[in-house]
Structure 1
Amino acid sequence: MNRRPSSTRSRRYRGRSTDELRAERRERLMQAATARIGEVGYQSTTIEKLCTEARVSTRHFYEHFATREALLSSLFDRITEQTRAVIMQALAEQADDAVERALNAVRAFVRYALSDPARARIAFVETVGVSPHMERRRRLAINDFVDVISNAAQHLAEQGVLPKRHYRLAAIALVGATNEMLVEWLSGDTGLTAEQMERAIIDLFSTLIAGARASHAS
């Protein structure tokens, strides 16, 4: 006996299911928002303009995002998840020198951030001051990076490379300095290439590690 298609079964259009089409529309909105916000900023980005660039209707927009801020939040979450994955992958890689392994993780983060200025602008500039909700998400992301640096420093201390002490405040200072250096680079005022800015940030971390090692040895 032939069964009638279930009403809950996903219909297909040109070989694609409705779920696949929804996912494609959402991804087009995310990509359009990354490009648009990266170019003109969040405040100058309208839902109507995004829908036009993503080739979707406003009805489709609200199927995925309740507000424009919800879209920004989704973009920020994606960027922070990808950034964390890049850092953790670098930390998992073997290196002969423990300090070089830690610096490789910083290098991977900076290189990822600088490789796409639009993405970096969303992460470090456009989420600032949007709302208390976005500020909480931003602070959580910052604290996550602080934890990574602090844990890496504690690991170096356990290996005898650094003196045994509490490194969270130092990690906060390093994250803040890195954030401001990236924001300055995005402004275009530094005159540095991405490679030069990467070197400047790595030099900052290297100098502080060298100073801590020197004080430990004396």
Structure 2
Amino acid sequence: MSTTKGSDGARGVTPLVVRADQLTGDDESPATEARGLEFENLVRRQLELLGEDPAREGLVRTPSRVARSMAFLTRGYNLRVEDVVGEGVFAEKHENMVMVRDIELYSMCEHHMLPFFGKAHIAYIPNGKIVGLSKLPRIVDMFARRLQVQERLTGEIAEAVQDVLAPHGVGVVIEAFHLCMMMRGVEKQNSKTITSALLGCFRDDGRTRDEFLRLAHTSGNGP
């Protein structure tokens, strides 16, 4: 299986599915079909190694379901920041902090291939440009839909916003629960992992940093 490196610096194996039509099954190219069958065979063999019978009623379609699920959960490998931002950058003289918080995210731990999930809070101080608010969650999803560690995910999001906008600074905080800690290993159900990435004035100016962290940790889900 080949290794790829995208323009954002991410490394990964060539994914099973690479476009939206392939995700929905509309792409019937021989290469896509062959990759799908290979993945299904791997899942079927895994079931056998677990002592299961892949031919029993409840598992007959499991290999194909798993293949499609993994394609969906790792679709970020074939997206670039410019793909998800598109034409969503605008000239604007606003000079104060812009923040989108409580962005839900779901990703897969690269160590155990188990999910982790939580929320991201993103802020930046514009330098003549702003980005459409929906683009920040899209950037989060692009990097989260890969095999990840939370520390790297946090930094990749911050660097992407920096690359797109060249703002005075960027701040990202992620709070997440990891199933690899909850359902195996230490089995701690309430341990939350918090990571941050601070660039520019968010790193260098204490008042900006403090304002961001205060807003990021303000409780409440409503407006």
Regarding TM over 0.5, the answer is no
TM (norm. structure 1) is: 0.30
- The structure richer in strand per residue is 2
